[in-house]
């Protein structure tokens, strides 16, 4: 029937620019590329592609013609057709994006239930892959709670291989007493019940290696599961220094040789006296104890407030993440008014080695930038510059993405949710950071933010990554993943693609940074992103490769798992974009990288 396009792209090897344009029955395309990089879409001589069908045929097409979403296997939260990716991808998604907190569309209980069911199933049938995914999420994905839950599910499985793997990877996943506290709490929940000999022994081995520093930092009794509780529950057999630390935490006894703990007890006494009657001499004694015993900043800050000198001392003691989180306090309390201290702080923030070793999410630097904007004081401008440099450094190892890249960041209303209860960053702002980094790594890149419609951004590579991220962030209305593709076809943010566009923008790579909850396109035009991807490959560039970077733990996808040259990736760390660059050059995909993780 005239006006109906037979449209089903053949599968082709990844990266094969010579792949066929589509069904062999389609007539050849005739494309003319202008000096501005736009391609004029011209109909072939027989008029099948690009012709304007009669209105009657259009109505029949709309009602009965085959669509890309006819094979959809599910509906998303807004009721639009969607696809479910493989179980392996679901595992990567939950472990690298699941904060197990309420989101725009789902409650914490719903997400936690889905995650636990997934972990339990993998622990029984593919425990080795689960162990690999846990390590990947903890080490490379920079996640914490979801890997801990998965570890407990692995240990609670009746599968003996799963239990052995849990024992092996325990010290690589449980890194701090805070992790241990959460693991033991999880073991005691009714839904998991994983507190057996395996976890008791693993906890005991961990406690045998605990430092005085950690005992001081995490020794407070205010937690739901304190270290004292853990010692009493696990009853580890300890000797020597480990036993002395245990006796201090359980009974308050300070054995000879525990110099850092003894220093902390002396500090507590001096801090109490200083709070009662602040004097320069008392402050000097506090500073001497902080420096000599390298006391954790958390316990110092909780007992001494308002002293610029104490804050200066703490800045030198802080690990990188603590430094990021306390810049606002340092400025507010006047610590950065000291030129030497300011020089230390700015050099530490922008030190390439410290940035790399810190393994921070890139958005942490933007969050720190936002925090220092809420105060004013000496050193604020210098610290802002150092943070912007650190943000650039967080993507320093990211390969180039190549030419002709469409970067589409989701700014819809569902992206307004915060990354976590403790974070000030929204998913839309995180998407903006990734979009900015991709733009800086693309020789010819274009950022098109989208909600209900497309919002092309006017940017320059001369802008800093922080400036670009601010320019493309924000959040608006509904979600239409089709909007950036409509723009690619030659539509505008106001008009969209109506099938009558004369010129198309040519891209080799399209990156969508989103929560994948697209629905406006289906509601208004009865077609979605997959329809436009297939049409774009037929009419403009058969070699287009599409990457969907998923930032939310939702299970819905706009393309099926077997769609040629379309790939889903998951996570908030810079490594997620690295996978896109690697895969564009024929390198490993995220799942392949997970399967290469050693569990020894």
pLDDT digits (tens, 9 = 90+) for 433-474: 999 999 999 999 999 999 999 999 999 999 999 999 999 998
In this predicted structure, what is the pLDDT of residue 521?
93
**Contact between residue 433 and residue 366 where contact means Cβ atoms under 8 Å apart:** yes
Closest CA to 246 of 294, 222, 275, 211: 211
Pair of tokens at residue 459: 């940017």
Closest CA to 248 of 205, 208, 269, 219: 219
What does the DSSP assignment read for 229-279?
Answer: HHHHHH-----HHHHHHHHHHHH----TT-HHHHHHHHHHHHHHHHHHS--
Tokens 């961990």 identify what position?
206
pLDDT digits (tens, 9 = 90+) for 210-240: 999 999 999 976 667 899 999 998 999 999 9
pLDDT digits (tens, 9 = 90+) for 366-390: 999 999 988 888 999 999 999 999 9
Q: How far apart are CA 234 and CA 203, in angstroms?
A: 7
**Contact between residue 462 and residue 477 where contact means Cβ atoms under 8 Å apart:** no
In this predicted structure, what is the pLDDT of residue 251?
94
Is 595 exposed, middle or buried (CB count within 10 Å of its CB: 0-12, 13-18, 19+)?
middle
For residue 195, pLDDT beyond 80:
no
Helix (H), strand (E) at residue 332: helix 327-332
- Range from 60-69, 103-112, 189-198, 244-253 carrying the lowest mean pLDDT: 60-69
The number of residues in the chain equals 600
More confident residue, 108 or 494: 108
Residue spans of the domains in the chain: they are 1-87+399-600, 88-259, 277-358
Query: Which residues on adjacent β-strands are paired with residue 223?
Result: none
**Contact between residue 151 and residue 169 where contact means Cβ atoms under 8 Å apart:** yes
**Contact between residue 431 and residue 514 where contact means Cβ atoms under 8 Å apart:** yes
Helix (H), strand (E) at residue 13: none
Q: How confident is the model at residue 59 (pLDDT cuts 50, 70, 90)?
A: low
Compute the mean pLDDT over every residue in the chain, rounded to the nearest whole number. 86
Q: How confident is the model at residue 259 (pLDDT cuts 50, 70, 90)?
A: very high
Q: What is the mean pLDDT of residues 153-175?
A: 96
For residue 27, pLDDT beyond 90:
no
Protein fold of 1-87+399-600: Rossmann fold (3.40.50)
pLDDT digits (tens, 9 = 90+) for 276-325: 999 999 999 999 999 999 999 999 988 988 789 999 999 998 999 999 99
More confident residue, 46 or 442: 442
- Range from 2-11, 159-168, 171-180 carrying the lowest mean pLDDT: 2-11
């Amino acid at each position: 029937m005239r006006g109906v396009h037979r449209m089903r792209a053949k599968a082709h090897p990844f990266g094969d620019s010579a792949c066929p344009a589509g069904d062999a029955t389609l007539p050849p395309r005739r494309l003319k590329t202008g000096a501005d990089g736009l391609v004029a879409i011209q109909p072939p001589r027989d008029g099948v592609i690009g012709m304007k069908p009669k209105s009657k045929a259009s109505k029949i097409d709309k009602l009965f013609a085959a669509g890309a979403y006819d094979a959809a296997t599910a509906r998303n939260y807004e009721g639009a057709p969607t696809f479910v990716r493989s179980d392996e991808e679901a595992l990567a998604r939950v472990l690298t994006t699941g904060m197990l907190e309420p989101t725009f569309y789902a409650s914490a209980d719903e997400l936690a239930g889905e995650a636990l069911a997934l972990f339990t199933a993998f622990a029984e049938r593919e425990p080795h892959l689960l162990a690999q995914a846990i390590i990947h999420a903890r080490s490379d994905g920079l996640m914490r709670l979801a890997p801990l839950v998965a570890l407990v599910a692995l240990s609670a499985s009746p599968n003996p291989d799963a239990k052995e793997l849990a024992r092996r990877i325990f010290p690589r996943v449980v890194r701090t007493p805070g992790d241990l506290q959460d693991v033991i709490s999880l073991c005691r929940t009714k839904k998991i019940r994983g507190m057996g000999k395996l976890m008791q022994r693993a906890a005991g081995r961990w406690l045998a290696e605990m430092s005085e520093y950690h005992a001081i930092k995490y020794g407070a009794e205010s937690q739901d599961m304190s270290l004292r509780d853990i010692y009493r529950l696990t009853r580890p057999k300890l000797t020597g220094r480990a036993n002395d630390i245990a006796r201090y935490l359980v009974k308050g006894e300070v054995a000879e040789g525990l110099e850092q703990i003894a220093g902390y007890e002396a500090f507590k006494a001096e801090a109490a006296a200083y709070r009662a009657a602040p004097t320069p001499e008392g402050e000097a004694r506090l500073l001497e104890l902080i420096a000599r015993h390298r006391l954790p900043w958390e316990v110092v800050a909780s007992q001494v407030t308002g002293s610029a000198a104490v804050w200066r001392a703490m800045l030198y003691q802080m690990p990188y993440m603590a430094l990021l989180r306390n810049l606002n306090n340092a400025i507010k309390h006047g610590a950065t008014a000291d030129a030497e201290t300011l020089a230390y702080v700015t050099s530490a923030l922008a030190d390439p080695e410290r940035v790399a070793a810190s393994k921070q999410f890139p958005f942490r630097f933007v969050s720190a930038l936002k925090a220092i904007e809420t105060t004013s004081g000496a050193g604020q401008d210098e610290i802002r510059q150092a943070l912007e440099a650190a943000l650039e450094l967080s993507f320093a190892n990211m390969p180039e993405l190549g030419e002709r890249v469409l970067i589409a960041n989701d700014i819809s209303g569902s992206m307004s949710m915060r990354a976590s209860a403790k974070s000030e960053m929204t998913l839309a702002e995180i998407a903006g950071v990734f979009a900015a980094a991709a733009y800086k790594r693309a020789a010819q890149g274009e950022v098109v933010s989208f909600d209900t419609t497309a919002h092309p951004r006017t940017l320059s590579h001369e802008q800093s990554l922080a400036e670009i991220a601010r320019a493309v962030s924000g959040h608006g209305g509904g979600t239409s993943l089709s909007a950036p593709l409509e723009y690619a076809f030659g539509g505008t943010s106001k008009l969209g693609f109506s099938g009558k566009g004369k010129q198309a923008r040519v891209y080799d790579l399209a990156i969508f940074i989103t929560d994948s909850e697209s629905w406006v396109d289906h509601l208004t035009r009865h077609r979605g992103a997959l329809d436009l991807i297939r049409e774009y490959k037929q009419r403009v560039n058969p070699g287009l490769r599409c990457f969907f970077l998923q930032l939310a733990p939702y299970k819905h996808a706009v393309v099926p798992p077997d769609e040629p040259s379309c790939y889903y990736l998951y996570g908030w760390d810079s490594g997620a974009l690295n996978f896109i660059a690697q895969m564009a050059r024929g390198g490993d995909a995220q799942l392949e990288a997970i399967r290469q993780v050693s569990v020894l």
